Protein backbone atom coordinates (compact mmCIF):
# COMPACT_ATOMS: atom_id res chain seq x y z
CA UNK A 1 0.00 0.00 0.00
CA UNK A 2 2.81 2.40 0.91
CA UNK A 3 4.61 1.72 -2.35
CA UNK A 4 1.44 2.39 -4.40
CA UNK A 5 0.85 5.64 -2.49
CA UNK A 6 4.38 6.85 -3.11
CA UNK A 7 4.20 5.81 -6.75
CA UNK A 8 1.07 7.92 -7.30
CA UNK A 9 2.75 10.92 -5.69
CA UNK A 10 5.95 10.54 -7.67
CA UNK A 11 4.05 10.12 -10.93
CA UNK A 12 1.66 13.01 -10.27
CA UNK A 13 3.32 15.34 -12.79
CA UNK A 14 3.27 12.70 -15.50
CA UNK A 15 -0.41 12.02 -14.89
CA UNK A 16 -1.29 15.70 -15.11
CA UNK A 17 0.83 16.05 -18.21
CA UNK A 18 -0.96 13.17 -19.92
CA UNK A 19 -4.34 14.55 -18.90
CA UNK A 20 -3.49 18.02 -20.22
CA UNK A 21 -2.05 16.57 -23.39
CA UNK A 22 -5.26 14.65 -24.15
CA UNK A 23 -7.42 17.70 -23.49
CA UNK A 24 -5.17 19.82 -25.70
CA UNK A 25 -5.36 17.34 -28.55
CA UNK A 26 -9.17 17.19 -28.34
CA UNK A 27 -9.59 20.97 -28.15
CA UNK A 28 -6.99 21.54 -30.87
CA UNK A 29 -8.63 19.07 -33.23
CA UNK A 30 -12.03 20.73 -32.74
CA UNK A 31 -10.70 24.26 -33.12
CA UNK A 32 -8.56 23.22 -36.07
CA UNK A 33 -11.55 21.89 -37.99
CA UNK A 34 -13.51 25.09 -37.37
CA UNK A 35 -10.65 27.41 -38.28
CA UNK A 36 -9.71 25.27 -41.26
CA UNK A 37 -13.25 25.38 -42.62
CA UNK A 38 -13.44 29.16 -42.24
CA UNK A 39 -10.07 29.59 -43.92
CA UNK A 40 -11.12 27.28 -46.75
CA UNK A 41 -14.35 29.22 -47.32
CA UNK A 42 -12.40 32.49 -47.36
CA UNK A 43 -9.86 31.28 -49.91
CA UNK A 44 -12.52 29.61 -52.03
CA UNK A 45 -14.54 32.83 -52.12
CA UNK A 46 -11.48 34.85 -53.13
CA UNK A 47 -10.63 32.44 -55.94
CA UNK A 48 -14.13 32.38 -57.38
CA UNK A 49 -14.38 36.19 -57.20
CA UNK A 50 -11.25 36.51 -59.32
CA UNK A 51 -12.51 33.85 -61.73
CA UNK A 52 -15.83 35.68 -62.02
CA UNK A 53 -14.02 38.90 -62.90
CA UNK A 54 -12.19 37.16 -65.70
CA UNK A 55 -15.45 35.72 -66.99
CA UNK A 56 -17.02 39.17 -66.96
CA UNK A 57 -14.10 40.56 -68.95
CA UNK A 58 -14.52 37.78 -71.50
CA UNK A 59 -18.24 38.59 -71.88
CA UNK A 60 -17.55 42.31 -72.37
CA UNK A 61 -14.80 41.67 -74.90
CA UNK A 62 -17.00 39.23 -76.80
CA UNK A 63 -19.79 41.82 -76.94
CA UNK A 64 -17.38 44.38 -78.39
CA UNK A 65 -16.31 42.16 -81.27
CA UNK A 66 -17.54 43.26 -84.73
CA UNK A 67 -18.87 39.75 -85.35
CA UNK A 68 -21.37 40.25 -82.53
CA UNK A 69 -24.67 41.37 -84.12
CA UNK A 70 -25.56 43.37 -81.01
CA UNK A 71 -22.24 45.19 -80.64
CA UNK A 72 -23.29 48.42 -82.36
CA UNK A 73 -26.98 47.93 -83.10
CA UNK A 74 -29.12 51.00 -82.34
CA UNK A 75 -32.11 50.69 -80.11
CA UNK A 76 -35.35 50.10 -82.09
CA UNK A 77 -37.92 52.86 -82.01
CA UNK A 78 -41.59 52.22 -81.50
CA UNK A 79 -43.73 52.24 -84.63
CA UNK A 80 -46.35 54.62 -83.34
CA UNK A 81 -46.60 56.87 -80.33
CA UNK A 82 -49.58 58.60 -78.85
CA UNK A 83 -49.46 62.38 -78.24
CA UNK A 84 -49.09 61.74 -74.53
CA UNK A 85 -46.09 59.49 -75.11
CA UNK A 86 -44.51 62.06 -77.44
CA UNK A 87 -44.86 64.78 -74.84
CA UNK A 88 -43.33 62.52 -72.20
CA UNK A 89 -40.41 61.75 -74.49
CA UNK A 90 -39.81 65.44 -75.16
CA UNK A 91 -39.92 66.17 -71.45
CA UNK A 92 -37.37 63.45 -70.70
CA UNK A 93 -35.13 64.69 -73.52
CA UNK A 94 -35.23 68.24 -72.22
CA UNK A 95 -34.32 67.00 -68.75
CA UNK A 96 -31.41 64.96 -70.07
CA UNK A 97 -30.15 67.90 -72.14
CA UNK A 98 -30.29 70.11 -69.06
CA UNK A 99 -28.19 67.64 -67.07
CA UNK A 100 -25.77 66.86 -69.92
CA UNK A 101 -25.49 69.76 -72.39
CA UNK A 102 -23.41 67.78 -74.86
CA UNK A 103 -25.80 64.83 -74.65
CA UNK A 104 -22.82 62.48 -74.79
CA UNK A 105 -23.37 58.76 -74.44
CA UNK A 106 -20.74 56.61 -72.79
CA UNK A 107 -20.06 53.55 -74.89
CA UNK A 108 -17.22 51.09 -75.30
CA UNK A 109 -15.43 51.14 -78.62
CA UNK A 110 -15.63 48.09 -80.83
CA UNK A 111 -12.60 45.85 -80.98
CA UNK A 112 -10.74 45.33 -84.25
CA UNK A 113 -11.73 42.40 -86.41
CA UNK A 114 -9.15 39.75 -85.61
CA UNK A 115 -9.66 36.00 -85.82
CA UNK A 116 -6.82 35.37 -83.38
CA UNK A 117 -8.30 37.81 -80.86
CA UNK A 118 -11.73 36.22 -81.16
CA UNK A 119 -10.21 32.78 -80.54
CA UNK A 120 -8.46 34.01 -77.39
CA UNK A 121 -11.71 35.51 -76.08
CA UNK A 122 -13.60 32.28 -76.71
CA UNK A 123 -10.90 30.32 -74.90
CA UNK A 124 -10.99 32.71 -71.94
CA UNK A 125 -14.76 32.37 -71.69
CA UNK A 126 -14.54 28.57 -71.82
CA UNK A 127 -11.92 28.54 -69.05
CA UNK A 128 -13.98 30.77 -66.74
CA UNK A 129 -17.49 29.51 -67.45
CA UNK A 130 -19.24 29.04 -64.11
CA UNK A 131 -21.20 25.93 -65.09
CA UNK A 132 -18.02 24.05 -65.97
CA UNK A 133 -16.23 24.86 -62.70
CA UNK A 134 -16.31 22.15 -60.06
CA UNK A 135 -17.09 23.02 -56.43
CA UNK A 136 -16.01 19.64 -55.06
CA UNK A 137 -13.42 19.78 -52.28
CA UNK A 138 -11.10 17.18 -53.76
CA UNK A 139 -7.47 17.34 -54.83
CA UNK A 140 -8.34 16.82 -58.49
CA UNK A 141 -11.02 19.53 -58.47
CA UNK A 142 -8.81 22.05 -56.68
CA UNK A 143 -5.88 21.31 -58.97
CA UNK A 144 -8.08 21.65 -62.06
CA UNK A 145 -9.48 24.97 -60.83
CA UNK A 146 -6.03 26.38 -60.08
CA UNK A 147 -4.76 25.28 -63.49
CA UNK A 148 -7.72 26.87 -65.28
CA UNK A 149 -7.34 30.08 -63.28
CA UNK A 150 -3.67 30.32 -64.16
CA UNK A 151 -4.40 29.76 -67.84
CA UNK A 152 -7.25 32.29 -67.76
CA UNK A 153 -5.00 34.96 -66.24
CA UNK A 154 -2.40 34.37 -68.95
CA UNK A 155 -5.05 34.46 -71.66
CA UNK A 156 -6.46 37.75 -70.33
CA UNK A 157 -2.98 39.28 -70.45
CA UNK A 158 -2.60 38.21 -74.08
CA UNK A 159 -5.97 39.78 -74.98
CA UNK A 160 -5.09 43.02 -73.24
CA UNK A 161 -1.80 43.23 -75.12
CA UNK A 162 -3.57 42.71 -78.45
CA UNK A 163 -6.26 45.36 -77.89
CA UNK A 164 -3.89 47.73 -76.12
CA UNK A 165 -5.87 47.96 -72.89
CA UNK A 166 -4.59 47.71 -69.35
CA UNK A 167 -6.34 46.43 -66.25
CA UNK A 168 -7.13 49.17 -63.73
CA UNK A 169 -7.78 47.03 -60.65
CA UNK A 170 -4.70 44.80 -60.92
CA UNK A 171 -6.65 41.56 -60.67
CA UNK A 172 -5.65 40.11 -64.05
CA UNK A 173 -1.99 40.41 -63.18
CA UNK A 174 -2.71 38.86 -59.85
CA UNK A 175 -1.92 35.17 -59.95
CA UNK A 176 0.93 34.31 -57.63
CA UNK A 177 4.06 32.52 -58.75
CA UNK A 178 2.37 29.15 -58.28
CA UNK A 179 -0.94 30.29 -59.74
CA UNK A 180 -2.94 29.41 -56.63
CA UNK A 181 -3.51 32.80 -54.94
CA UNK A 182 -4.86 36.12 -56.15
CA UNK A 183 -2.87 39.28 -55.95
CA UNK A 184 -2.71 41.28 -52.75
CA UNK A 185 -3.01 44.50 -54.74
CA UNK A 186 -6.67 43.80 -55.37
CA UNK A 187 -7.22 43.38 -51.64
CA UNK A 188 -5.49 46.70 -50.94
CA UNK A 189 -7.88 48.42 -53.35
CA UNK A 190 -10.80 46.98 -51.42
CA UNK A 191 -9.30 47.84 -48.05
CA UNK A 192 -8.74 44.21 -47.08
CA UNK A 193 -5.65 43.34 -45.09
CA UNK A 194 -4.63 39.70 -44.75
CA UNK A 195 -1.68 38.61 -42.66
CA UNK A 196 -0.06 35.22 -42.55
CA UNK A 197 2.06 33.88 -39.73
CA UNK A 198 5.08 31.72 -40.48
CA UNK A 199 4.52 28.19 -39.22
CA UNK A 200 7.63 26.73 -37.60
CA UNK A 201 6.14 24.18 -35.17
CA UNK A 202 6.35 20.54 -36.19
CA UNK A 203 5.54 18.77 -32.92
CA UNK A 204 2.50 19.06 -30.69
CA UNK A 205 4.75 19.91 -27.72
CA UNK A 206 6.19 22.90 -29.60
CA UNK A 207 2.79 24.39 -30.41
CA UNK A 208 2.64 28.08 -29.54
CA UNK A 209 6.37 28.54 -29.02
CA UNK A 210 8.23 31.14 -31.02
CA UNK A 211 11.20 30.03 -33.03
CA UNK A 212 14.45 31.07 -31.43
CA UNK A 213 16.42 33.59 -33.43
CA UNK A 214 19.70 32.22 -34.85
Is residue 60, in this structure, part of any structural domain at all? yes
Q: Is the pLDDT of residue 150 over 90?
A: yes
Name the pLDDT band for 94 (thresholds 50, 70, 90): low
Is residue 64, in this structure, part of any structural domain at all? yes
Is residue 76, in this structure, part of any structural domain at all? no
Is residue 165, in this structure, part of any structural domain at all? yes
Is residue 99, in this structure, part of any structural domain at all? no
For residue 63, give every residue at least 6 positions away whose Cβ sits within 8 Å of its Cβ, in sequence order, or none. 70, 71
Residue 97 or residue 13, greater confidence? 13
Distance (Å, rounded) from C-alpha 81 to C-alpha 158?
48
Q: Is the pLDDT of residue 200 over 60?
A: no
In angstroms, the Cα distances linking 100 to 38, 88, 193 are: 48, 18, 40
**Short-list 171, 70, 64, 55, CA closest to 117:** 64
Query: In the chain, pLDDT over 70 holds for what percent of residues?
Result: 57
The least confident of 5-9, 144-148, 160-164, 207-211 is 207-211
pTM: 0.55
Is residue 96, in this structure, part of any structural domain at all? no
Rg over CA atoms, the chain: 30
Average pLDDT over residues 40-51: 92
Is residue 80, in this structure, part of any structural domain at all? no
Could you say which DSSP state residue 199 is in? Answer: P
Q: Is the pLDDT of residue 89 over 90?
A: no
Q: Is the pLDDT of residue 210 over 80?
A: no
Could you say which DSSP state residue 141 is in? Answer: H
Tell me if residue 194 falls in helix, strand or coil: coil
Domain total for the chain? Answer: 1
pLDDT of residue 55: 95
pLDDT, tens only, 17-32: 999 999 999 999 999 9
pLDDT of residue 174: 47
Name the pLDDT band for 177 (thresholds 50, 70, 90): very low
pLDDT of residue 121: 94
In angstroms, the Cα distances linking 57 to 62, 155, 162, 178 are: 8, 11, 14, 23
Provide the domain limits for residue 25: 9-70+109-206
Is residue 118, in this structure, part of any structural domain at all? yes
Amino acid sequence: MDEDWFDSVLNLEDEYYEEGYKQGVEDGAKAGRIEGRLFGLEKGFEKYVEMGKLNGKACVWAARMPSNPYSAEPEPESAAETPTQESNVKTEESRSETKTPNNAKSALASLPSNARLEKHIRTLYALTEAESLSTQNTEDSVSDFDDRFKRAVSKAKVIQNIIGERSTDGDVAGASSNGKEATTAAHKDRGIKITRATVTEKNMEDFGRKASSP
